[in-house]
Chains A and B, each alone.
Chain A
Amino acid sequence: MNIVVLVKQVPDTYSERKLSDADSTLDRDSADAVLDEINEKAVEQALQIKEAGEGEVTVVCVGPDRATDAIRKALSMGADKAVHVCDDALHGSDVLATAKVIAAAIGKGDAPDLVLAGNEATDGGGGAIPAILSELLGLPQLTHAREVSIEGQTVKATRETDEGLTYLEANLPAIVSVAEKINEPRYPSFKGIMAAKKKPVDTFTVADLGVDAGEVGLGNAWSAVTEAAPKPPRAAGQKAEDEGDGGTKIAEYLVTQKLI
């Protein structure tokens, strides 16, 4: 089975993240960069599927030079090879352009039986890439999966959303995006880290992929950030002294907020 996993390098969730002053895109230098946690889970899922049967896991990443660290991590966990799309022209691309580039990058290799992704990245939080990609590649999408299993030529997934659980099934090839509860990703072992040094990483530019440079980048994005302001600090709350009437005061407050 040929499994492709999409990975993204994001600013560490535990650090302070901000947008750059110049063009309101993500300021990548302001925070430590890590492999997005949800992608670690996607890689783990791919490895579990591979280990249960057989196959090859290819990591696909779109990002600047230093995204190689995120790729290394995925390879150290056990992925077999990687494709890195790295091009300054991609700076500021929106989800549509990014999905096009990813689709073209996937097309560079053998046709995948399964494409795995995280449900959404912790930085942009768009959560649209798996769906757009499914449209572009003409593959069924099974998103927000908290459980995935492969049975012959079918993939089954338990989709978890606020509305509850849905049981999905599709023929392979398909795209699956995994959610938080899917698994606990493994830590790269000494052997894995050493082996990753020798694993092949193909690097492509936008031109290599045959994507028109006029379709990508900040200038060609369908959405634009005109202004951004940091979240205001939390204002101090109201304090109610309990003089035997605390319950009433709380109720009154909730009434003013139209909550009860």
Chain B
Amino acid sequence: MPISAALRDRLALATCLERVRTDPADTWVYGYDNSRKHAVPDAVVFATTHREVRDVVQACFDAAVPLIARGRGTGTTGAAIPLHGGVVLSLERMNRILSIDPANRVLVVEPGVTNQAIQEAAAIHGFFWPPDPTSAAYCTVGGNLAVNAAGPHAVKYGSTRENTLGLRAVIGTGDEIHTGAYTTKGAVGYDLTRLLIGSEGTLAIITEATLKLTPLPESRRLLQVIYSSVRDAAQAISRIMAQPATPCALEFMDANAINMVREYAPAVLPDNAGALLLIEVDGPEQVLDDMVAAIRSVASGHGLLDFRAARTRQESDALWSTRKALSPALRNIAPNKLNEDVVVPVSRLPELIEGLDRLSRAHGIPIVNFGHAGNGNIHVNLLYDSQDPKQAAAAKPCLRQVFDLVLQLGGTLSGEHGIGQEKRDYIPLAIDPVALDLMRRIKTQFDPKGILNPDKIFPHSPK
């Protein structure tokens, strides 16, 4: 349904005529994200300042029209899709780094700055911002905040929530709030910063973020360890995480993933490899040998097939190439994939992988698993062909059983991608009705008319 002329005028007044688009030829491309779902918005508005965002929210509040905040559309769960039309508020032009304060190790940014631009600005002063999703070159910090994004280095340095000090935001009534503080510790009020982070644009539109920076490590060393089974690897992961030299990355690939990249990987992978770990340690050059020795001693144990430590940049790149070969390989194998990012306690990893193998056989759908093993966050990829009626019919039931398995093992549906639209209907499996009801009531306080990213995260109320 097209928006009213009155609303269009107000949006143009809030921004400018040129930055309000209603022609489907313009709005079409703002209706998708990396979930590959699509719905056309009635209007796309490009905001360039906090004030414009506030005025746009107020206009949508008055007109009771849905408002969907959008970064660069790299999310995988359909969180940025305008399910019911309405206004997509593109924040890609709010891409300024407002201030960098190396003395206090703080960076203040607008939401449209890319993760990589943040890393580059921080690196000039010897810092980095720990969240490092694979899409860093393209994704925005606004999106990182919306889903509490993370990547390989979260195992040591935490995710977006642990690395954000404060936010400026506009809630669903058009009112502005500041949360947290420039200082490390905000003493007054409730911690709304961490509540907004991960809320996928359903509580407020973030217009400014104060990020906590971390000193870049002097040096890094990469290790590749191969085990004959996931069970042996999982026990090694527990031993590695329980010793004090915490690795800065601890990535995992199961046998299916290893077999997929064999032909791409320059390093020879043993035929009987059941699980592969890529372990990265960081610190001053002179202590890295000790750290590698410490990891080697705990990594040694039942089922260890191969342990190698890269000594040069080239060797390190060669080891990473195994992991990096995965994504293109996945694309070559099946036209469609359901890409989940479940989390289980590390000790339950063997049961997860065994269970997934069982489901794969039962449903005739290949499942390939890899991910951030140090915190139990595994990317489960269901590979299928939507043109094959049998596989197409089996994919969704198989996914439901994947989630059942994960919850049975004491895990959760998502570690870093969020819920959005794709996992929304599975949320009641993970959160009991009373807690869900409370979350809905919290949303109502921020967004009384329910205009902010409606029908995401929470399924329709049963009432």
> Do A and B truly interact?
no
